[in-house]
A and B are shown apart, each in its own frame.
Chain A
C-alpha cells in the first residue's frame, strides 16, 4: 500500500453530489449527508459546478443534452476518491447509465466508467464502503421505509438503510408491504401520466397508512415529494422524511411538505 492510499483509508475524500431536488427543496438532506459522511471519517467537498445528473434529459430521449450534462458532472467530480449521492436514482444514473451514454466515444466512456465505479448512494456508501454499523442519532416513533426503485434495483440498496435505522435508540421500524413497488413518481412520468401516477401513489400511501407508522422514510427526494404530497392531500396522519435526516438526527426541520413551526 502506498502512503497516499493508506492516508486515503484514514480520511476518504468525498465529493458530494447533492442532487437538484435536494438543492432546491431540501437542503437539510444535504447537510445530513455531510454530517453522516464526516461521522464516517470522510472529508466532504461540494463542487460548485454541479447542477443535475441529466436524468430528465436521458429518460426523455434527449441523448445529446444528457451527454453534455454528464460530461460536466464527470469533469467536476473526477478529482474525488468517491462520489456520494443522497439519491439512488441520481447515483444510479452516474453508476449505471453514464458509461452507456458514451457508447460511441471511447475517451469519455473510459472517464465515465472510472467515475461510475467510484459513485455510491449515500447510505450504501456509509455501510458498504465506510463500514458504518450504527449511528449516534436518537428518534422517537414508529417508522417505515420505502425502497426507491433505482437504488434498489440498480444499486442493491436494501439492507443498508434498515441496518442503520435499527441501530437508532428509540426508533421502531415496521416493514412496508410492497416496499419494492414503485410509488409512481418516475420523473416526468408523474406529470405526463398523472392519473396512472395517482393510482400508483394512492396504493403506496394506503400501504403506508396500513402499517400504523407515523413517519415514512426513503432515500430519494422524487419519491418523497410524491408520497408526502399525496399523504398530505389525503389528510393522512403520516409524514415523510429523507432517511438521511433521521440517520443524522436532524429533527429541527419540519417533515417534507409539513407546516412550518
Chain B
C-alpha cells in the first residue's frame, strides 16, 4: 500500500525537477491537453453557460445530498442492485473483499477508478489472495510499476514510451524479448492481448462511476478504450466504487455535466464510450452481470459539506486544473504524495488524509488562478487552498520562521510612520549596497531567491520619502 508522502512534497518536487525522463514526459501535458481544451471550449458558444449550469446542478445536489442519495439507493434496489454505505476506506475495502469472497473470485478486472486508488483496493485484494487486473491502459502500466496514478485521467502521463516498453518487457516474460516495442500502437496491442484472457477469466468486475443518477439508480462511466464495458459486462458480479458526491438528480443533469466533462478533460466533445448501468442483468437482457453492487464511500466527504471546502465536492475529476497548473507541470503528480494531485489534490488531500500530512500542497501554489479559470465546475481552488493555509496558521503548523517574519511585517505594516522610516532606510541601504551593478548576486536571508536569480537593487529612495520631499517632477527625480 502506498503510504502518503505529501509531507515530503519539497523533496519529492526537487527529485521530480531533476528527473529528465519525467520532465520529458511532462512536456506533453502543456501542449496537448491545453490546446485541445481551448479549442473544444471555443467551438461551443454555450460552453460558459454550461459551466454555470453544471455548477448549479452540483450545488443543488450537495445542498440536498441526503435526499438524492436515498432516492438513488431506492432506485438501485428497485432494479435489483445493492448499495453498501461505507464511512471510510477500511469499511469499503472489507465490503469489496466480502463481495469478492462470496463470488469465490480469484481474478478481478478493474476499470479506472480514483476511488479504487483512494482505498488502495488492489493491494488489499492481493494481500487477500485475489488478483486484481487493471484494464485501462494507463492504470495497467502503473499497476505493473506499482505506482500511484500521476494524473486523474492519464495515470501514466509521467512516463515516456520507453519506460512503458521496459515495464512491458519486464512483466510479459512469455513474449519474445526482441519484439519491437517502440510505437504506442504496439504496446496497446500487447496490453490488449494480455487483457483479453483476463476479461474472460474474471469473476468480478470493479468499475468507478462518473455519475450516480438518483432518478434511475444508474451508474455512469466515461472511457475511451472500451475496457470499462468489458469489465462490467463479462464477469458475474459488477461492483461500482463511488464516492457520495457523484450523485446527480436526473439523466438530464448528467447529460448537461457530460457536455463540459470531456471538453475540459481531453478536448473531446464526448468520450468514446459513455456507459449507463442500471442493476443486474434482467431476464430478457442480452448480457450483463448477475449481481450489481455499489460501494458508496464517504471517507471524509460529509465533513467537507457545510465547511469552506464544500465546493470542492462539485469536482467531476476532469483533470483540467492539473493540466493548466504550472506547478503540476513542473513537478508532475507523484510529487503531491498521494492519490490526487494538482490544484484539486491540494484541496482534497488535506481533507482526506489530514492537513498535518498534506499541508505543504495548498502552500505550493502561486495563486495564479489558471485552475479556477478552466474548472468546468467553477471550483474556487485558490480560495480553498488559502483556507487550508488559514487552518495551518491557526493551528501553528506554519513554519515558525515564516510566522515570525509575517508578524514582524504585519507590525510594521500597521504602523505607517515606522513603516515609512523603515522603507526609506531600507531603500537607501540596499540602494547603496547594490551600487553601480544595480543588483545582488547574493543577499543574506534571501538565499531562496538569490540561489537562482539576482535580486534587483532598489533605486535608492522610497517613493513616499521622495513624494513627501515634494519632488513631484515626474520622471526627473534624482
Contacts and interface: CB of A to CB of B under 8 A. Distances in A.
Given A24-B423, A181-B326, A190-B448, A51 B459 contact: no
Contacts of B463: 18, 22-23, 27, 30-31, 46
Nearest to A192: B363
Contact of B453 (A100, A195, A196, A233): A233
Contacts of A198: 451-453
A63 B366 CA distance: 18
B436 A229 contact: no
B464 A60 contact: no
B370 A229 contact: no
B426 interface: yes
Contact of B409 (A57, A154, A225, A249): A57
A72 B416 CA distance: 9
A27 B461 contact: yes
Contact of A61 (B17, B398, B453, B461): B398
Among A59, A189, A196, the most chain B Cβ lie within 10 Å of the Cβ of: A196
B389 interface: yes
Contacts of B474: 31-32, 34-35, 38, 248, 250
B476 interface: yes
Contact of B413 (A38, A54, A154, A201): A54
B365 A186 contact: yes
A153 B416 CA distance: 30
* Range of interface residues on A (Cβ < 8 Å): 35 or more
A39 to B, nearest CB: 9
B436 A259 contact: yes
Interface string B369-402: 1101100000000010010111111100010001
A72 B370 CA distance: 30
B325 to A, nearest CB: 9
A10 interface: no
Interface string B405-424: 01101101110100110010
A228 to B, nearest CB: 5
B437 A259 contact: yes
A81 to B, nearest CB: 20
B454 A257 contact: yes
A89 B449 CA distance: 20
Contacts of B414: 51, 65, 68-69, 72
Nearest to A154: B369
A153 B369 contact: yes
B367 A149 contact: yes
A128 interface: no
B307 interface: no
Nearest to B418: A51
Contact of B446 (A35, A59, A191): A191
Contact of A182 (B10, B370, B391, B468): B370
A188 interface: yes
Interface in B450-477: 451-459, 461-464, 466-468, 472, 474-477
B343 to A, nearest CB: 12
A232 to B, nearest CB: 5
Interface in A176-202: 180-182, 184-201
A56 interface: yes
B254 interface: no
B369 A62 contact: no
A194 B436 contact: no
Contacts of B373: 153
Nearest to B386: A59
Contact of A149 (B369, B451, B467, B475): B369
A201 B17 CA distance: 14
A58 interface: yes
B443 to A, nearest CB: 11
A228 B363 CA distance: 24
A52 B413 contact: yes
A189 B386 contact: no
Given A69-B413, A149-B368, A149-B370, A63 B457 contact: no
A48 interface: yes
A61 B391 contact: yes
B432 to A, nearest CB: 11
B331 interface: yes
A33 B300 CA distance: 50
A150 to B, nearest CB: 7
A253 interface: yes
B475 A65 contact: no
B368 to A, nearest CB: 4
B438 interface: yes
Contacts of B363: 189, 192-193
Nearest to B14: A195
A201 B452 contact: yes
A51 B416 contact: yes
A11 interface: no
Contact of A229 (B366, B388, B426, B453): B453
A257 B457 contact: yes
A252 interface: yes
A142 interface: no
A186 B392 contact: no
B169 interface: no
Interface string A6-46: 00000000000010101111111011101100100000001
A191 B383 CA distance: 21
Given A22-B463, A61-B391, A72-B414, 10 more contacts: A31-B466, A57-B409, A149-B367, A184-B366, A187-B367, A192-B363, A226-B453, A230-B453, A253-B459, A259-B437
23 contacts: A23-B462, A24-B458, A27-B462, A31-B475, A31-B477, A32-B474, A51-B414, A60-B406, A65-B413, A68-B410, A68-B414, A149-B367, A149-B369, A186-B368, A190-B448, A190-B449, A193-B13, A194-B449, A194-B451, A195-B452, A233-B452, A257-B455, A260-B438
Interface of A: 18, 20, 22-28, 30-32, 34-35, 38, 46, 48-52, 54, 56-63, 65, 68-69, 72, 100, 149-150, 153-154, 180-182, 184-201, 225-226, 228-230, 232-233, 248-250, 252-254, 256-260
The 6 A-B pairs with the shortest beta carbon distances in the complex, nearest first, are A186-B366, A257-B456, A61-B389, A61-B393, A35-B474, A182-B368
